[in-house]
Amino acid sequence: MNTPLTEPTSDQFEDVNCYHCGESAHTFLLTGQDDLTGKPGNFTYVTCDGCGLVYQTPRLKIEHIGDWYDDDYIAHRRKKNWGILTKFYQRGMDKHDREKDKLISRYITLNSDSRVLDVGSGSGSFLQRLRQQYNCSAGGIDFKDLSDLPFYEGVDFHQGLFYEAPHEDNSYDLVTMWHFLEHDYDPVQTLETAARTLKPDGRLVVEVPRLDCVTYKLFGNRWPGVQAPQHTVLYSKEMLTKFAERSGLEVVDYLPWGAFPAYFYLFAGTVFLFFRGRGLNLQKAIYPYALGQLLLSPILLFEKRLNLSMQTIICKPRS
């Protein structure tokens, strides 16, 4: 495991201007910590005085952020044994991929001629599902080398940054970014690359935490959407839409929900308030997580109406 044992030093950070308007003037908003793993460090989020974007500055230099994506990082799904709840965990992950599939199917029909790219592809399970369901050509890109994970069998995996990879123009029918853009060090260039590489009738699907939501109001700096230092930008509906439009994209639809379970933010935010930066033991937490999900299931039926935590934007290249 690649876990830093000491707080990052000042030379590991860099100051950045607003990702949207380039303004350097800003106002302090909150201090975030790595509530999920308990890794040390305090990370500052500010509000841009020019356009209102919330972002992290100073941020860790890109060569140092890798320590926060070690083998325990949940999106990589390297851990397989969850005790008696292993099947519950597997069903939850499978349901997540089904929900992603269901969401994209509202906007595009995939078949054996389709080319799909998932940016920040994590474990690769979503891409494997699309391959099996539609026999499409699937590619994934992540800045960590995850090619050894079993879901990447038959998937074209590339390690690196999306906007530095050799993607041809007008080549993809679908590009997805599931909880990637909030991690990005250059979101404008990423979205511009998506606009360039999509076919004229292609679609981009971006899901991120929504800053102007119920759970942020509940948990503040312990909101799971903060996830410091990995999350470099916290997007409101207004700012997410502005980023897409300035990057050569036309917004097809906006959803105040996503494929990711909003319940996770309710559960994790409550736990983060209690532990206050000491980290979450996922092996132990899965039991109360499962119980809470069962108890709150009637409320979660109305998730799409409550603006609990997520947002999804569907775009196409501007003609």
- Residue 201: phi and psi, rounded to 5, are -105, 15
- Per DSSP, 113 falls in state T
pLDDT category at 298 given cuts 50, 70, 90 is: confident
280, HSE (Cβ side, Cα atoms, 13 Å): 25
- Kindly report, residue by residue over 61-73, the tens digit of the pLDDT: 999 998 888 766 5
Determine the residue type at 130. Answer: L
The three-state secondary structure class of 38 is coil
pLDDT category at 5 given cuts 50, 70, 90 is: low
What is the rounded distance in angstroms from the CA atom of residue 54 to the CA atom of residue 227? 14
What is the rounded distance in angstroms from the CA atom of residue 37 to the CA atom of residue 33? 9
pLDDT on residue 2: 44
CB atoms under 10 Å from CB of 89, counted, come to 19
In sequence order, the 6+-apart residues with CB closer than 8 A to the CB of 305 are none
pLDDT on residue 286: 73
- Compute the mean pLDDT over every residue in the chain, rounded to the nearest whole number: 90
pLDDT category at 242 given cuts 50, 70, 90 is: very high
pTM of the model: 0.92
- Kindly report, residue by residue over 44-53, the tens digit of the pLDDT: 999 999 999 9
Determine the residue type at 148. Answer: D
Task: Write the CA distances from 99 to 36, 92, 104, 252, integer angstroms.
Answer: 24, 10, 9, 19
In sequence order, the 6+-apart residues with CB closer than 8 A to the CB of 132 are none
- Per DSSP, 257 falls in state -
- Per DSSP, 226 falls in state T
In this structure, which CATH number among 3.30.1330.60, 2.60.40.290, 3.30.450.20, 3.40.50.150 belongs to the domain 10-317? 3.40.50.150
pLDDT on residue 69: 83
Give just the sign of the alpha carbon dihedral 293, 294, 296, 302. Answer: positive
Q: Give me 118's structure tokens.
A: 């998932």
Q: Is 2 exposed, middle or buried (0-12, 13-18, 19+ CB in 10 A)?
A: exposed
- Kindly report, residue by residue over 109-152, the tens digit of the pLDDT: 999 999 999 999 999 999 999 999 999 999 999 998 999 999 99
In sequence order, the 6+-apart residues with CB closer than 8 A to the CB of 216 are 210, 223, 225, 309
What is the rounded distance in angstroms from the CA atom of residue 139 to the CA atom of residue 146? 13
- Kindly report, residue by residue over 89-103, the tens digit of the pLDDT: 677 778 899 999 999
83, HSE (Cβ side, Cα atoms, 13 Å): 7
Terminal C-alpha separation, the chain: 47
- Kindly report, residue by residue over 155-171, the tens digit of the pLDDT: 999 999 999 998 999 99
- Kindly report, residue by residue over 17-41, the tens digit of the pLDDT: 999 999 999 999 999 999 988 899 9
What is the rounded distance in angstroms from the CA atom of residue 199 to the CA atom of residue 141? 19
Short-list 69, 59, 29, CA closest to 236: 29
How many helices (H) and strands (E) the chain has is answered by 9, 13
pLDDT on residue 287: 74
What is the rounded distance in angstroms from the CA atom of residue 247 to the CA atom of residue 256? 21
